[in-house]
Each structure stands twice: as C-alpha cells, then as structure tokens.
Structure 1
Amino acid sequence: MQLAFYAPLKAPDHPVPSGDRAMARALMQALALNGAQVDLASDLRCRDGAGDGAAQSALIAQADAALPAIIARGRAAGWQAWITYHTYYKAPDLIGPAAARALGIPYLLVEATRARKRLGGPWDQFAQRAEAACDAADAIFYFTHRDHEALAAYAPSGQALIHLPPFLPRSDLPPAAKGHGLLAVGMMRVAAKLASYELIAQTLAHLPDETTLTIAGDGPARAQVDALMAPFADRVTFLGQCSPDALAQAYRSAGALIWPGVDEAFGMVYLEAQAHGLPVIAQDRAGVRDVLCPRDGGYAQVADGAQGLAELAGRGAAPPEDIQQFIKTHHLIGAAAQTLAAGLARVGVQ
C-alpha cells in the first residue's frame, strides 16, 4: 500500500513533543506494520488558536497554494488513500479532501471532531472546513465514545465509523513499576494543562505531609506551575522536559500517576503510566474514561474537586499485573494495526 498521511495540528516530525505528536507517529508506525509505505504528505500546520479570521484566510491560501505540488507528488508516488489525523475547528484539514478528490482515492480521518456550534463564530472559516472534511471522509476512525456521538449524528450516508482505541507504539510491556510517590506528566502551556496542575496542587494539600510528587514536563507556563507548587516545595521535584528514556525511568520510580485530565481528549500519559502498571488518580471525564483501567468505586467525580482526587489516592487500586493486562488487551500497536487494516480494506485499499 502507498498511503499519504497528514496531521494539520502538529506534524509527526514537529520539534516540540506532545501527546498529539506521539499519536501521529504511532499511527504511521501502525500503518507501516501492515506493509504500507506511509508518506508524510505535508507539514503545513493549519492551526488558529485565537479565532482570527485573517489568520484563517491566510492559512487557507497557503494550503491552496501547496495543493498542486502535493497532488503531483501523490500521482508520482501512486498514493492509494489519504489519511488525516486530528482535524477539528481550530486545526482543520485544508488539504486532504481536495487532494484525495483530485487523485481519485479514498479519504480517511482519524480522531476527527465536529463542532457545529462554532459555525458563524470567530472560527467560522475553519469550522466550515472541519465539517466539510468530516462530510468528505469515506471512513472515520474515532478514539472515544464522546467523539462518536457527534460523528454519528451528522454522518453522511455510507460513511464508515470505526472504533480505534488509543494505543501505544509498542507490542510488549515494560517491567512493572516498583517505586513510590506521585508522578505528574504534562506540558506547561495551555489553560487546560494549568487547570490540571492547579487541581494537583490543591490535592497535595489534602494528602499526608510525607506524600511526594515528581513532575515531568516543561513549557512557557513553568513559572505558574512553580508558583502553584511553592507551598509544597520540600515535597515536589521537577524533572523538566524528559527524553523517552528519562520518562520511562520516571514511570518506573513512581507509585501512581496523578493527572486530573481537564479537557483531555484522552491522554497518552494514561496509557504510558498504565503500561508500567501504575494506578491512575484522575477525574471521571469523557474521553479520559475510555483509556482508564476499571477501578473499584470508579474515578473521582469532577464536582468533588481536589477532595475527590485525594480520596481516590487513598483507595486501593487494581494490582499492577491487572493494569498491564488491560493495556496489553486494548491499547498496543498490534490491535491498532489490525483495526486500521480492516478500515482500509472496507474502502477498497489492501
């Protein structure tokens, strides 16, 4: 198979690490497991975080200007399908629908979301393009049941909606962690991430004084996170931005992951931590619950805030081997590769 791959929010070769970049890379690896040649069709980042109509118009013009060369490249390479990862109203696919139509090949989406309430607002141009991309897709692979609800409500006739559980780009599991203390893993930049850090700081105030916290992550909001953790300075260790090996060591050295999950689509850190057998301290949020190992008594309710997270931290969790088995069964690359292959076959690509 010859496949085109595109990620408008963040290309898989983008220099800044994130869960979105990690998932894009994992998808390319999973497709390659099926014997596909996967070409990165474009690295154009089509994101407008501010709702700026002029910025949206400029990016649309950039995408239109790039199309002829991309289409020519696709013809030369013999692309059989176009796959776009993560299109939504702030970062829609401005290239894939037109390119796939010109090449006469199936157009598939992974983690596409619809937000019709954004039509007519400051993101109107991009929201329209995001809706058009969803309408054009022959098949959409969705990660969470929350995404499926809107996709199913507005799906055109004949469109295939296929559940693809989020997954790690590995076929085996690491040794179970045998550490202690809490670990938080998250970039320090957007409001949602800061909200999770705020809840973690509030949770520490409800936990015994001997409870320690290690934080892996960095970013432009580092000063705000430092200030949040200042009252617990003797209990908190900052690792900064970690290499994959350093992050794996952090998981091995921890006793549990704490990450409330405010506005997380699902969160790769939950999969990574549970692969090491770590219990998770999180809130019961849409999306997040799709990747969490079932826990007696459930997860903390959002309305219970930091107190609910502290109570969850004090409750027993599943044994590490059960948590790892959950990941092995549902969230490793082998199962994902099979699901992607079946979806491609469904639109005539094998």
Structure 2
Amino acid sequence: MMRLAFYAPLKPPDHPVPSGDRAMARSLIAALEGIGADVSLASTLRSRDGAGNPAFQSRTMAQAEAEIARLIAQGRQTRWQAWISYHNYYKAPDLIGPAVARALGIPYLQVESTRARKRLVGPWAGYATAAEAAADAAAVIFHVTERDAETLRRDAPPGQHLYRLRPFLDRDSLPDAATRSGPMLSVGMMRAGDKLASYRIIAETLALVPGDWSLEIAGDGPARAQVAQLMAPFGSRVRLLGALAETELARTYARASLLFWPGVNEAFGLVYLEAQAAGLPVVAQDRPGVRDVLAPGTPPPPEAGAAALAHRLTELLQDPDLRARQGDLARDHVARHHLRPAAMDSLRAGLAAAGVT
C-alpha cells in the first residue's frame, strides 16, 4: 500500500466551511485511496493571504518552518513514500511540502499548481517566489485546466512531468437524471468580487428573458443582501434558497430545468459538473476554466453580454426537446471524463512516473 502525505495550503479538507476547494481536496483523497493509497493529512496550516499583507506572509512562513520540523519526524516514523500538495499558487503557496519531501528523500507532487511570475513583484512577492519554487520542486504536476497547463509547460524545469487531471466528481456513477421541467437554477457563493459579478450578469440577463420563467438560487454568504437587492425587481419569480446541504442540493438539481451561472473567473467550477451529471443543460459564458468542464458546445463570449445569455436561456426554456438533448450530452460528457474512475487513472499514471507504485 502506498503511504502518501497530503496537504492543501489554501483550505484543508477538514475545514468547516464548504467550498469547491474543500470538495476537490476531499475528492482527491478519495481517489488516491481508491488506487490503494494510505493517505495522511499532513498539515492543516492555511497559507492563504487574500490581501497581500507581507507581515501576515512572514508570520505564516515562520509557522511553516515549525511544521516542517514536526513533519520530517512524522514522515520518517510513518515512512511516507510521496508528498502531494493541492492548489499551490501565489496567494496560498506550499511552504511546507518541498522541504519535507527533500529531507525525507521522497517524490514531491502537486495538483492544480498555478504559475504567476508577474506576481514576483508587489505585495505578494515573497509568496509568489515561494509558489514558483514549490512548482519547480515538483517531480509531477497534475493540471486541471488548459490555462494552467500553458504556463506550467512554459516554465517547467527539466525532467518535470505534467499530467492532465480533469476536474471530477467524487462518485463512480451518475445520479438519476433531472426532470428538466422545473425552475432555472443558479448555484454560487454570495461574496464580493467575481461571485457578485456573476450575480450582476444574472440580473441583467433575466431582465431580457421573456415569458413566465422562475429561478432558484442556491448559495449564501456576506453579499447575500446585495444579491437579494439585485433580484428584487423580479419579485416571487426568483427564490433565494440559502446554503444547501449536499443531499438537498442534489434534489434541487433534480427538479431544475437548466443551470444558469456565467462563471466570472471560475477556476473551473464543480457546480457545472454537478449540474451536468444530473442531466441539466448549462448556460454560461465562454471563459477559461469553465470551458474545461462544459460539454462541447458554443457558449457566448463575455463580450456578447447579457443579450446573448438571454437568447440562449429563451431557446432552452421554450424547447423541452432541446433541453433534453443538451442535458443528455452534458450527462454523457461527465460520465466519460469527470468521475472518480477517470481521475484514478490519471493519478495512478502520475504517481508511477514519480516512481511511486
């Protein structure tokens, strides 16, 4: 049995607040265990600095040094055979894994690492330098989007192996298909920045959609009042459901007609995979990351604006057969590329390339 150390510097898999990063970390552990690995959560130290605060970065680096010493001793006792870190980037670099792996003489691997050399100057300079050094140290990097792959290929040191690991759902089979006859559905956290930008686009689009439509929104967060204000002009046609547990969200997908989420700056968006697995057609914009998980099609570019999204929504709302065809295509796409068995194959190949079997 492979003995692996796992670390997620952005958000550990046991964090109490749900998110796509937490879900992906948990799914990775399940997939690794599925290929016969004994996975240890090595550390829960969060390195994330969203504000660009050099003092915070210095304190976290000092905390990381203490973790390194502890983990070297633990790794020797546990006899780890490799270290895998998930989501190394300039705001949340892996400050621990490379040093521990080097001291133990074991392979160091990364999943979803991002190169951002333009950040080597500015408020995240120290963190960006650490993130680049961690990426350089990896024997194998699994990339989950083509956008990340471009810079990883460009800056890869000699001998580093890059493997594609498509974003995936932590399940072996698809859920029951949705009815595709209920309200439209949007799913997203409610916070300032990119998420709120998607909600603004949704409101702009709904104002252009004719007919007797309805929309349910699953999600919550500090910007809930702003989202509610954006949706207020539509009255009872828009329902805010709040944050939903996994089982309730599954029931919400099952009764929906389609998923509508523009996807402003989404890394990829697990919500797209969940909706497509349920057989929902997706209305989104053609953005990097998003296109890595959508079934083949022609989503409108962001510059086409709300009018293009409204046109697509209207087509789907008025044509049940089109919804069914697009939903079936989406479901088949997820079955072939984005479930746990496909991820296990990729992880097995990358580990073998690093000499871990």
> TM-score band, normalised by the shorter chain?
over 0.9
Within the candidate set 261, 275, 278, 1:276 is matched to: 278
Does residue 304 of the first structure (1) align with residue 311 of the second (2)? no
Q: CA RMSD in A?
A: 0.9
Question: Which region of structure 1 is more displaced relative to structure 2, 40-49 or 183-192?
Answer: 183-192
Aligned equivalent of 1:262, options 254, 264, 274: 264
1:326: which partner in 2? 333
Q: Which runs of 5+ in 1 are unaligned?
A: none
CA distance in 1, matches of 2:138, 2:192: 30
Please show how residues 129-278 of structure 1 align to structure 2 within 5 Å. 129-178=130-179, 179-278=181-280
- Tell me what 1:83 maps to: 84
Q: How does 1:36-185 map to 2 (within 5 A)?
A: 36-178=37-179, 179-185=181-187
Tell me the distance in 2 between the aligned counterparts of 1:195 and 1:7. 27
Alignment partner, residue 319 of structure 2 = none
Query: Structure 1 stretches (4+) deviating beyond 2 angstroms?
Result: 314-322
User: TM-score, normalised to structure 2's length?
Assistant: 0.96
1:27 partner letter: L
Any conservation in 1 of the 2:177–2:254 contact (CA below 8 Å)? yes
Q: Distance in 2 between matches of 1:160 and 1:312?
A: 40
More displaced, 66-75 or 271-280? Answer: 66-75
Partner of 1:343: 350
1:185 & 1:322 partners in 2: Cα distance? 21
| More divergent stretch after superposition (57-66 vs 264-273) | 57-66
Task: Report Cα offsets for 1:134-190 as digits up to 9, x if no partner.
Answer: 100000000111111000111000000101110000001111100322101111124
1-structure distance, mates of 2:183, 2:296: 21
Q: In the TM superposition, what whole-angstrom CA distance separates every residue of 1:230-288 from its partner, at most 9, and x where no partner exists?
A: 11122111111100000001100100001100010100000000000000000000111
What CA deviation, in whole Å up to 9, does each residue of 1:35-58 have, x standing for no partner? 100000001110100011111111
Partner SS state of residue 261, structure 1:
coil
Stretches of structure 2 that go unaligned for 5 or more consecutive residues are 316-321
CA distance in 2, matches of 1:124, 1:210: 52
Q: TM-score, normalised by structure 1?
A: 0.98
Letter in 2 for 1:62: Q
Q: Give, in angstroms, the shift of residue 320 of structure 1.
A: 2.7
Q: Percent identity?
A: 59
Deviation at 1:59, TM superposition (A): 0.6
Deviates more, 1:133-142 or 1:204-213: 204-213
- Contact 2:279 2:327 survives alignment (8 Å): yes
Displacement after TM superposition at 1:312 (Å): 1.6
Deviation of the 1:209 alpha carbon: 4.4
Question: Structure 1: which amino acid aligns with 2:216?
Answer: T
- Aligned to 1:245, the other structure's residue is in SS state helix
**Matched letter for residue 24 of structure 1:** A
The residue matched to 2:299 in structure 1 has which SS? coil
Q: Pick the aligned partner of 2:294 from 275, 292, 295.
A: 292
Aligned to 1:19: 20
Q: State how far apart, in whole Å, the 1-side matches of 2:295 and 2:59 are.
A: 44
How many equivalent residue pairs? 348
How far, CA to CA, are the matches of 2:97 and 2:251 in structure 1?
39
Separation in structure 2 between the aligned mates of residue 155 and residue 162 of structure 1, nearest angstrom: 12
2:9·2:86 contact (CA, 8 Å) conserved in 1?
Answer: yes
C-alpha distance after superposition, 1:208-238 (max 9, x if no partner): 2411110001011111111111111221111
Given that residues 210 and 314 in structure 2 are in contact (C-alpha distance below 8 angstroms), is that contact kept between their aligned partners in structure 1?
Answer: no
SS of equivalent residue, structure 1 residue 274: helix
Partners of 1:181 and 1:208 lie apart in 2 by 14
